[in-house]
A and B are shown apart, each in its own frame.
Chain A
């Protein structure tokens, strides 16, 4: 039974629905904070949509590589119960005490036995579920090698000879009698992140998707580009099998209400998605392939995304055509696709030929998730996305149920990760406080000191069923190993990773007094941890094991040449033995965890994070540089959706000030900082007298905010008729009578943003302009409002307000950076002159008010100072730079540091609140521990050999080594990432990387050639 760990009577756990990247993040955050989680997914393996992406923007990294560590992480966590092929069928009860019925489809494979050898797939490919993914035209065979769980799944209906199938499994894991399982679990809260599906354009005849093979969706194009995709990464037109020369992307398919059945919202991620695909195409094929993107507005509003757009334009030569495509046809007898379109400034139709057209299809909620919403009992909006709280988008209409990811609304990976952590934070708050579990105490066996013993090696060789044993004679391998120096025991172990074999190995270690172990089996990548744990259980240091990969890298790939395979297996085992005898016991570096939190910045973000952590019982120090809490929100009146910011803010300030566990320090200035992750000391001056004091804390949260920009442009500050959007909002609120007399109002977008001096987009301004123009029209329906824009970036559900503004008569006029509007004083008014592309002439409007969308800029002074004190990286435009823009969007590269809100990049209040909650969740993963474990694969300097040459100091990509007071290099194991670059460059050979010591690597080399030179 796979649900053996679920305790039916406890409601101190969280149910996470959906095993995509978001669900995994939520589950991991909860588990690391020692909360129990049931993670369910309706698929055979977890990973979701991301496992099908080739590369992700804006880093263009290979996704497989970035997601892999997360997947294996989730399987290892003790607190996570993973149920695949499982759906929610009923929910009763309420927050704190839900009762959920789960139904699991039969897998027909026993997960505990399956070794993912693949024999079933080889012999009965039709019966095995190998994920076809979203690409219906060209299925990929094995989904990816890091699949979790590491097991296959059987489609019994397709199987004609069940007995033969059962027999083929060497691990006897196939169980044809497997039944659907229905079970009931109790949980305190529920997080829904089942993801979204992608718009299907099949019904749109004019796009030809259904009939023309070379018209593909962006996800299909991704699969074609992918190394693990159907074409093995070869970019070819599906119809001809030839490499295309001209590829076009058409944006907004299924979004912005443009097509039949399209959502009214903007799908948020497609612009970047198309850019990425075009860039990757250009990177690989340069001038061999022309890339064109047909778009209405390029919406690159995320952190540094505008730079990505500029790169596509300027460095890669991707062509951008602001246009509306009309149809895609394939003229009789031709392979070219004929794309008809109109440009923005004329009604004339243009035609152009392409070899491939990619439809940038948007997100859509699936039937399945709508059903899920219904069963759970949360309300959906008109687009079938959950209705959420106005300042906290992960909170649904049903208490205790939270949402995250694309199920909540269209979004990209970083925002999904942020929401996932935020949902974890909210869900955890519904749990009763945990008492320390006895679970961890029981696994603390006494470790035998083997440092003075002669090496005594035990060699255990798996046959892995037929996988190894079917190709090579395991007994021969055992016999050979037994002849090698220091080998005390050599034996065959069947399935080494099975429970019985593990027990046998453990027993042998103890009985024979072994002090080194070699496993001949599968990849150390997947199994090293498992055997390390085994050694620990057997009472010897966990680092005294070495795995010879004789399955993945021998028998699986040399099955046609058994003799060579056996010789190579012998060599690999001998190499492992030679290496392991030189292995030394290592200790994991641990540090005691200080459970206080320092939050820098007392705006909405900082206060939200403070409250969340204080409510969990952690002491919070909240440092604000001004004399008043609230930050930039003090200047805001309402949100686009109509939320009352001042009411929200004042109640929050009240809560913060009165909370026992929060100590607020205003006029606080951080002046010094020292310590290690988990035990920092930070000095600050605060209060009117600027008293100096030091705070001990384990976590630092940066929520320093940004500043509203005020560039010296368009007469800003020279005449009262010109205001920023922020000032306009106040003015509308304070002087409604005056607004009623306005005739013309002009708004200029991108003032001080998206320029060579400040290349990034300020993200918030488009919706700000929409918000203010709607407010003006509410007060004064006769007013004429002009919005001069470059791209309207009303992403997600904001798009609907944009449509509303258009309907209510707001006049939208586009301008180019090369031809900006001209503003001149005209008495108490201003004359705004802009070039109208449709009329082809300059138009002058005399405006009563000119509102400038000046956006945000980083708080350079504060951030520069803090980055210096805390040694944290910043982006070129001065925001804090997170550890991984995709997967760790709120973690800083230095452990124990987190960033949230506009200190990270410009964003809206609800986005800041989400990040604040996310940060609180991430912080709790560390705060829940009493010690911080840092692993053992770190570099170590021998001070006696060191020449203090600084080469390691310069070689380290993380700036860890330094020359200490004794005059030699020192590497802080708490900061070392274990890459070994310093080791390789040290001219004095004074550094060794633990687990990969020079003598161990050289021992392998020497052992390999012993036979040859001897």
Chain B
């Protein structure tokens, strides 16, 4: 899932300062799941903005709506009737959603209300952790199912650096050493021999090294 976090309120207020009628849009996909931009957060932000604007003595009208997904044009089309009543759009979706809106509604400014963070997994209630950097050439099959690209601070592909201490990364005690995890798992799987193979320098083209990426499924693409 894509994770995100609400931007500081101050920054959002600054974006929409010149505008009176705001269309605040949530997204019922990833940002709902990570509690950053679902119906609930839309309500909270609307209320907060309302208060902040009241305090500063400027009027604001906020229309709240949550789309099923902001990254699909068909869903984005849904708000076509609401756009007319707004001076600006504030989106609580990830960067994909914001861009989709901006592309579709060229005549109206669209602002992000969240910072898109990373592709992650739920560790437990309320905690999301980075698990993938979309390198486009998945290594998990040879690293015991644990990704050194997204989980090692130095993206080391051939083993732990000298800073690995009791299973933790040198950058923080809260961060697991990815290579400790990989090693433990390889051991559990009886695949420790595999570690001795030198993993060659990575080809980063698949990971964005050659510009914006696209996937085209010939059988589906029109």
In the complex, A touching B (Cβ < 8 A): yes
The answer to whether the Cβ of B87 comes within 8 Å of any Cβ in the partner chain is: no
Minimum Cβ distance to chain A for residue B97 (Å) = 14
Which chain B residues lie closer than 8 Å to A950 at the CB level?
Answer: 33, 122
Known: A945-B39, A947-B38. A988 touches B122 (CB 8 A): no
The answer to whether the Cβ of A954 comes within 8 Å of any Cβ in the partner chain is: yes
A954 and B124 contact, CB distance less than 8 A: yes
Q: How many A-B residue pairs have CB under 8 A?
A: 38
Known: A947-B29, A947-B32, A949-B32. A955 touches B125 (CB 8 A): yes
Minimum Cβ distance to chain B for residue A986 (Å) = 7
B40 and A989 contact, CB distance less than 8 A: yes
B40 and A947 contact, CB distance less than 8 A: no
- Give the complex CA separation of A988 and B41 in angstroms: 8
B40 and A987 contact, CB distance less than 8 A: yes
A window 981-1013: CB within 8 A of B: 986-990
B28 and A951 contact, CB distance less than 8 A: no
Minimum Cβ distance to chain B for residue A1014 (Å) = 15
Which chain A residues lie closer than 8 Å to B32 at the CB level?
Answer: 947, 949, 987-988
Interface of A is mostly: loop
- Give the complex CA separation of A329 and B71 in angstroms: 82
B124 and A988 contact, CB distance less than 8 A: no
The answer to whether the Cβ of B167 comes within 8 Å of any Cβ in the partner chain is: no
A987 and B38 contact, CB distance less than 8 A: yes
- Give the complex CA separation of A701 and B216 in angstroms: 60
13 residue pairs bridging A and B, Cβ less than 8 Å apart: A945-B39, A947-B32, A947-B33, A951-B35, A951-B125, A954-B124, A987-B32, A987-B33, A987-B35, A987-B41, A988-B32, A988-B39, A989-B40
Which chain B residues lie closer than 8 Å to A986 at the CB level?
Answer: 40
The answer to whether the Cβ of B120 comes within 8 Å of any Cβ in the partner chain is: no
A window 841-877: CB within 8 A of B: none
Minimum Cβ distance to chain A for residue B15 (Å) = 23
Which chain A residues lie closer than 8 Å to B41 at the CB level?
Answer: 987
Which chain B residues lie closer than 8 Å to A990 at the CB level?
Answer: 39
The answer to whether the Cβ of B109 comes within 8 Å of any Cβ in the partner chain is: no
B window 172-222: CB within 8 A of A: none
Which chain B residues lie closer than 8 Å to A954 at the CB level?
Answer: 124-125
Which chain A residues lie closer than 8 Å to B125 at the CB level?
Answer: 951, 954-955
Which chain A residues lie closer than 8 Å to B122 at the CB level?
Answer: 950
Q: Which 8 A-B pairs have the closest CB atoms?
A: A987-B38, A949-B33, A989-B39, A954-B125, A947-B32, A987-B35, A988-B38, A987-B40
B window 35-53: CB within 8 A of A: 35, 38-41, 43
- Give the complex CA separation of A990 and B35 in angstroms: 13
Minimum Cβ distance to chain B for residue A962 (Å) = 15
Q: Which residue on A lies nearest to B37, using beta carbons?
A: A987
Minimum Cβ distance to chain A for residue B9 (Å) = 18
Minimum Cβ distance to chain A for residue B144 (Å) = 26
Interface set of A (CB-CB < 8 Å, partner B): 945, 947, 949-951, 954-955, 986-990
The size bracket of the interface on B is: 10 to 19
- Give the complex CA separation of A955 and B29 in angstroms: 19
B43 and A989 contact, CB distance less than 8 A: yes
Q: Which residue on A lies nearest to B1, using beta carbons?
A: A949
- Give the complex CA separation of A899 and B28 in angstroms: 44
- Give the complex CA separation of A169 and B109 in angstroms: 71
- Give the complex CA separation of A945 and B42 in angstroms: 14
Minimum Cβ distance to chain B for residue A958 (Å) = 15
Minimum Cβ distance to chain A for residue B85 (Å) = 22
- Give the complex CA separation of A990 and B39 in angstroms: 9
- Give the complex CA separation of A986 and B41 in angstroms: 10
Which chain B residues lie closer than 8 Å to A989 at the CB level?
Answer: 38-40, 43
- Give the complex CA separation of A990 and B33 in angstroms: 12
Q: Which of A945, A947, A986 has the most CB of B within 10 A?
A: A947
Q: Which of A945, A951, A990 has the most CB of B within 10 A?
A: A951
A988 and B40 contact, CB distance less than 8 A: yes
Known: A947-B33, A988-B32, A988-B38. 6 other contacts (CB 8 A): A945-B28, A947-B28, A947-B29, A949-B32, A987-B41, A989-B39
Which chain A residues lie closer than 8 Å to B124 at the CB level?
Answer: 954
Which chain B residues lie closer than 8 Å to A945 at the CB level?
Answer: 28, 39
Minimum Cβ distance to chain A for residue B30 (Å) = 9
- Give the complex CA separation of A470 and B172 in angstroms: 66
Minimum Cβ distance to chain A for residue B12 (Å) = 18
B window 69-109: CB within 8 A of A: none
Minimum Cβ distance to chain A for residue B54 (Å) = 10
Which chain B residues lie closer than 8 Å to A988 at the CB level?
Answer: 28, 32, 38-40, 66
Minimum Cβ distance to chain B for residue A1012 (Å) = 13
Which chain A residues lie closer than 8 Å to B43 at the CB level?
Answer: 989
Which chain B residues lie closer than 8 Å to A987 at the CB level?
Answer: 32-33, 35, 38-41
- Give the complex CA separation of A945 and B28 in angstroms: 8
- Give the complex CA separation of A986 and B29 in angstroms: 13
- Give the complex CA separation of A913 and B32 in angstroms: 54
Q: Which residue on B lies nearest to A948, using beta carbons?
A: B33
- Give the complex CA separation of A947 and B39 in angstroms: 10
Q: Which of A950, A987, A988 has the most CB of B within 10 A?
A: A987
Which chain B residues lie closer than 8 Å to A949 at the CB level?
Answer: 32-33, 35, 38
Minimum Cβ distance to chain B for residue A882 (Å) = 26
Which chain B residues lie closer than 8 Å to A955 at the CB level?
Answer: 125
Minimum Cβ distance to chain B for residue A980 (Å) = 14
Minimum Cβ distance to chain A for residue B45 (Å) = 13
Minimum Cβ distance to chain B for residue A991 (Å) = 11
- Give the complex CA separation of A950 and B127 in angstroms: 13
Q: Which residue on B lies nearest to A949, using beta carbons?
A: B33
- Give the complex CA separation of A955 and B125 in angstroms: 7
B window 54-78: CB within 8 A of A: 66
Minimum Cβ distance to chain A for residue B96 (Å) = 16
